[in-house]
Each structure stands twice: as C-alpha cells, then as structure tokens.
A = this chain, B = another copy of it.
Amino acid sequence: MQSELLSALAGTLLWFKCENLQKAGAFKSRGAVNAVFSLSHEEAARGVATHSSGNHGAALARAAQLRDIPAYIVVPENARAVKKAAIRQYGGEVIECAATLESREARLAEIVASTGARFVPPYDDDAIIAGQGTAALEMLEQVGDLECLVVPVGGGGLLAGSVIACADSGVEVFGAEPEMADDAYRSLQTGRRVTSHTPNTIADGLLTTLGERNFEIVRDRVAGILLVSEREIVDAMALLWTRLKLVVEPSAAVTLAAILRNPDVFRGKPTGAILTGGNVDVTDLPFRTAEPAR
C-alpha cells in the first residue's frame, strides 16, 4: 500500500508491506508455517511447542492447526487475555507459567520432555528466518525499483530473513529499533552481541534480544540500525492509522518512524517498510485520549 502524503513527508516513494493483514495478524505466520511444514511426518505427529507472550504463539498454534498437529504454547501468567484467546482460537494449548524467562524455559523443557513436541523458537532458527524472509522476497517481486527496505528488529528473525532475501538485489536493508530497546544497535556498533538488557518500549514485539544466528547473519549485511524514540513511534503509528487507514501495532510503526527521522538516508530512494503486525488492544491505545464520548 502507498499514501501520497506519507511519501511526500518522506521525500521519496514509500511502499508498505501489510503484514498486519497477514493470517494471525503478523508476519510471524510465515516463519511458523515454514517451520511446521518443514517437519517430517514423524516429528510433526508429536506436535510443536514454544514459549511466547506475543504473535509467535498464535502464529505457531495456527500453523499446527493447518497441519492438524498439537501446539503447546507456554505463556507467562501476566500475558493479556486477548493473547491467550488468540492461541486457543487456533486450537493451541495454553500452558501458563510465572512471568520470568527461567520459568518459561523450565516449563517449556518439561512440556517438550513429556510430549516429545518439537521446540520452535521465535527467531533464532533457520526455518523461522527463511520463512520470515518471504515478506521481503514478495516486496522485491511487487515493487520493481526498490532501493531501500526498513524492517523492525527485535530477535532479528525478520531482519535476518530480509537481508538474505535481498542479498543479490542491490536493495539496502535497514533495521529499525526503539532507543529503549537498542540491543541490536549496540551489538552492531560494538561487534559483540548484547545478551543482557532491560528494554522498556511501547513496541512490545521488539522486547526480545537479537538472537545468535540472527546476529551472525545481519552483522555484515545490514545497512544500519536506525533508532527511534517512543514519541516518534506513537506519532508514526498515528500517521499509519489515519493516512493508510490501517491498524498496525507499535512495533510496525518503528519503520516509518525511522524513515521520517532520517530523511537524508532515504530521500529520492524508493523505500519499502514492512508493517509487521496489527494486533492491538483497542481499549488500551497509546494515543493521547479524551474521555469516551458516551
């Protein structure tokens, strides 16, 4: 999709890849489907498992449902009800645990041990990376003269898949990341993967830390990691809602925020942005709100 006004604001033609309209509301369906359908019949029969408080859990549950196999999704007990409902809607089994990484990993290990299910990680996995890369591949087919591509970076599944997809295209791939969750930026700057940080951003899909294989794939191939502030994320999200008329989540809006913050990088270069997802709780939106009308 395009918007004349957003292109004018950016000083270049912008193209938006609408993964908010993807099944399960996010690009995560791409990697999940690829991972599930890459399993042998024997592996698949025992099901798949993961831990997730976000879009990966619902996407994996849906992919498993498509193959008619079980999905066990470990979810922190403080996750939103809407997230658990999405997993169950796709036939996934929600397994609650305490809201710590240790608890999530321990509970997942128990599930895998007792069921024989295959652990499908959210980003640090070849099948996931390959699946996520198909969004960029499609953009290359759909937009002939693309010069730049901007994708959000959290764990780095989409970014790694995108740089591989664009390797022979001449398209420069940028990661966009919140200042308040800047581990990928710092990892690339220092050349050493940051493994411990305490992110705090409205872009709740980008709280994860850049994965090991993701770091290795992107470190020499990405054109840069562009940081954006929380205010810039919300402003970009408002522009996408009011100009494209699309419901996108904050993690998706970091792309437009990064483009608008760096006009000199993108001016005159046809640029794609992957709008990664549209799963939001409409009763809890970040726009400054007046009281309800009624």
**Out of B25, B246, B280, which one reaches A246, CB within 8 Å?**
B246
**Who on chain B is nearest to A82 by CB?**
B242
A294 touching B245, Cβ below 8 Å? no
B286 touching A285, Cβ below 8 Å? no
Query: How far does the alpha carbon of A238 sit from the alpha carbon of B247 in the complex, in Å?
Result: 11
B202 touching A294, Cβ below 8 Å? yes
B292 touching A286, Cβ below 8 Å? yes
In the complex, the count of this chain's copies comes to 2
Interface: A20 (CB within 8 A): yes
Interface string of A137-174 (1 = CB under 8 A from B): 00000000000000000000000000000000000000
**Who on chain B is nearest to A238 by CB?**
B282
A245 touching B246, Cβ below 8 Å? yes
- Give A254-294 interface residues, CB cut-off 8 Å to B: 278-280, 282-290, 292-294
Interface string of A4-26 (1 = CB under 8 A from B): 01000000000000001100010
CB distance from A143 to the nearest CB of B (A): 18
Q: Please judge, given known A-B contacts A245-B21, A246-B245, whether A283 and B290 are in contact too, CB under 8 Å.
A: yes
B287 touching A245, Cβ below 8 Å? no
CB distance from A206 to the nearest CB of B (A): 15
Query: How far does the alpha carbon of A230 sit from the alpha carbon of B292 in the complex, in Å?
Result: 13
**Who on chain B is nearest to A242 by CB?**
B282
* Chain B residues near A294 (CB-CB < 8 A): 202, 230, 286
**Out of B25, B242, B292, which one reaches A245, CB within 8 Å?**
B25
Q: Please judge, given known A-B contacts A245-B246, A245-B247, A278-B245, whether A289 and B293 are in contact too, CB under 8 Å.
A: no
A290 touching B286, Cβ below 8 Å? no
* Chain B residues near A284 (CB-CB < 8 A): 289-290, 293
* Chain B residues near A288 (CB-CB < 8 A): 283, 292
Query: How far does the alpha carbon of A282 sit from the alpha carbon of B241 in the complex, in Å?
Result: 8
CB distance from A61 to the nearest CB of B (A): 15
B286 touching A289, Cβ below 8 Å? no
Point out residues on A near B: beta carbons under 8 Å: 1, 5, 20-21, 25, 89, 202, 230, 238, 241-242, 245-248, 278-280, 282-290, 292-294
**Which 3 residue pairs are nearest across A and B when measured between Cβ atoms?**
A245-B278, A245-B247, A284-B290
Instruction: Offer 6 A-B interface pairs, CB within 8 angstroms, sorted by A.
Output: A20-B245, A202-B294, A241-B282, A242-B279, A245-B246, A245-B248
